[in-house]
Every structure is written in C-alpha cells, then in structure tokens.
Amino acid sequence: MRGLVAVVSLMLMLPLAAWGVIETYEFSDPVLEDRYHELSQELRCPKCQNQNIADSNAPISRDLRFLLHSQLEQGASDDEILGFMVARYGDFVRYRPAVDQNTVVLWYGPGIVALIGLLGLVRHLVRKKRVDQPVTAEELAQLRSRLAVSEGESGAASMSKTVHTSDRAARDNEESS
C-alpha cells in the first residue's frame, strides 16, 4: 500500500517540474551563450525579491531574458547591457551594483558599522580592565588621608571598620600576586 501511495504522489508531482523556466534561445556564437548565462545570473527580477531573471517565472523576467538575448545578438557589450537595465529599472536590478554616490552606503556601511562596534567593544574592555584592578596600599593610604581631611576625625573613626576591611582585601591581593 505504501508503495502505491509513493508512486501516485510522484506522478502527481511530475507536472510541477514543467513549471520551471524552459526557454531556449539560439545563439550565433557559444561565447554569447556563456555571456547570456552570466548576465542572467547577475540581473535580478524586478518583481521577484532575491531571484535572478534566469530562475524567475515572472513575465517581466521572461521579457528581460528576451531583451538580453536580443542585445547580445546585436553586439552590445556587457557594460552596455547592464547600463541599459540599470537606466530602465534602477540599481536594484543588479545583484552587485556599481559603487557610486547612490550605493556608497550599501558598499561601505556594513564595514563602518562593524568598525564602530569593534571600537565600542575595545573601549568597554579597556574601561572594565581599569575598574577591575585592585586598590594598592599606596592608593588606600591616599584615600585615608583625604577622608580624614574632608570629614575630620569623627567621620574617619566611623569609617575605620570599612577601611580595615579594605586593608584586609588589599593585603590578600598582594599576597596572592
């Protein structure tokens, strides 16, 4: 029974293969055919998002393939064909648009954003390293003298327990290193 279901399923899917792009063009030169395939992979379908004209079934892609074939047979260069397509459909029609004033952000924006992120990460790590350094005995003595001057003897006496705890932490750090 399973075999019958599998055979019937495959037979029902066979017509789906016929929906693929099946167009054949006669080229006067095999080099033109190679250029046709390269350019049809480079050009994006204006209707289909992220599909080139070689793979798209949209009517506009069929027209663009015919136009591409016609221009190749008339002797147009790759740059002339791409220029025509960009003039007619905009930079979107190319998968790799040329670098110009309209596409400079597209080409350099990701690198700039990554560089800014990297600089921010380095800055964060440097600051964190400075904060994580233990207090030395000399710095602790300076803090005690400033505290004694600013608060007087009564403030320093109430803070002696806190400072004593800091002394113990500073000694432990010195012993461990």
Per-domain boundaries in the chain: 22-93, 104-176
Average pLDDT over residues 17-40: 77
Q: 30-42 vs 78-89: helix axis angle to the nearest 10?
A: 30
pLDDT above 70: percentage of residues in the chain: 74
Confidence of residue 156 (pLDDT cuts 50, 70, 90): very low
Does position 24 have pLDDT exceeding 90, yes or no?
Answer: no
User: What DSSP element (H or E) covers 11?
Assistant: helix 2-17
Q: How many other β-carbons are positioned within 10 Å of the β-carbon of residue 53?
A: 26
Q: How many other β-carbons are positioned within 10 Å of the β-carbon of residue 85?
A: 23
CATH superfamily of 22-93: Cytochrome C biogenesis protein (1.10.8.640)
pLDDT at residue 84 in the model:
92
pTM exceeds cut of 0.75 = no
On average, the pLDDT of the chain sits at 79
For the record, the structure tokens of 20 come out as 């693929």
